[in-house]
Amino acid sequence: MHKPWEGRFREKTEEFVEEFTQSVSFDRRLAEEDIRQNLAHIKTLLKAGILTKQEAHLLEKHLLDILKEVQEGSFPFRKELEDVHMNIEAELIKRAGEIGGKLHTGRSRNDQIATDERLYIKREIKECVILLKNLRKELVRLAENSIDIIVPAYTHLQRAQPIRLSHYFLAYREMFLSDELRLINAYRLADASPLGSGAVAGVDFPFDRFFTAQELGFRSLVRNSMYATSDRDYLLDTLYACAVIGMHLSRLSEDLILWSTQEFSFVELPDRLCTGSSIMPQKKNPDVLELIRGKTGRLYGNLMSLLTTLKGLPTAYNRDLQEDKEPLFDSIDTTKKCIEAMNLILEGLSVKADRTTPPFGDPMTATDIANYLVMKGIPFREAHRIVGNLIAYAISQGKNLGDLSLREFKEFSELFEEDVFELLDPRVVVDRRKTYGGTSKQEVIRQIQIAKREEGVR
Ligand code: ARG
Q: Is 87 in the pocket of ligand 1 (CB under 6 A)?
A: no
CA–CA separation, 193 vs 12, rounded Å? 36
Q: Is 40 in the pocket of ligand 1 (CB under 6 A)?
A: no
Q: Is 277 a catalytic residue?
A: yes
> Running DSSP on this structure, what letter comes out for residue 313?
P
ipTM: 0.97
Q: Are residues 140 and 88 in the same domain?
A: no
Q: Are residues 97 and 221 in the same domain?
A: no
| CATH of residue 251 | 1.20.200.10
Q: Is 57 a catalytic residue?
A: no
Total domains, the chain = 3
Ligand 1: centre distance to CA 259 (Å): 49
Ligand 1: centre distance to CA 182 (Å): 28
Which stretches of 146-164 are DSSP H helices? none
Q: Are residues 164 and 287 in the same domain?
A: yes
Phi, psi of 73 (to 5 degrees): 85, 15
CA–CA separation, 244 vs 128, rounded Å? 13
> CA neighbours within 13 Å on the CB side: how many for 108?
21
Closest protein CA for atom 7 of ligand 1: 109
Contacts of 129 (CB under 8 A, 6+ apart): 180, 183, 184
User: Is residue 1, in this structure, part of any structural domain at all?
Assistant: no
CA–CA separation, 139 vs 346, rounded Å? 8
Closest atom of ligand 1 to CA, residue 321: 12
DSSP bridge pairs for 350 = 268
- Can you give the residue range of the structural domain that contains 75? 6-105
Check: CB of residue 81 under 8 Å from CB of residue 24. yes
Instruction: pLDDT tens for the chain, 458 residues: list them.
Output: 788 898 999 999 999 999 999 999 999 999 999 999 999 999 999 999 999 999 999 999 999 999 999 999 999 999 999 999 999 999 999 999 999 999 999 999 999 999 999 999 999 999 999 999 999 999 999 999 999 999 999 999 999 999 999 999 999 999 999 999 999 999 999 999 999 999 999 999 999 999 999 999 999 999 999 999 999 999 999 999 999 999 999 999 999 999 999 999 999 999 999 999 999 999 999 999 999 999 999 999 999 999 999 999 999 999 999 999 999 999 999 999 999 999 999 999 999 999 999 999 999 999 999 999 999 999 999 999 999 999 999 999 999 999 999 999 999 999 999 999 999 999 999 999 999 999 999 999 999 999 999 999 98
CA–CA separation, 38 vs 261, rounded Å? 55
**Three-state secondary structure readout of 185-238:** HHHHHHCEECCCCCCCCCCCCCCCHHHHHHHCCCCEECCCHHHHHHCCHHHHHH
Choose, from 74, 156, 350, 396, the residue flagged as catalytic: 156
User: Is residue 201, in this structure, part of any structural domain at all?
Assistant: yes
Amino acid (one-letter) located at 290: E
DSSP bridge pairs for 221 = 193
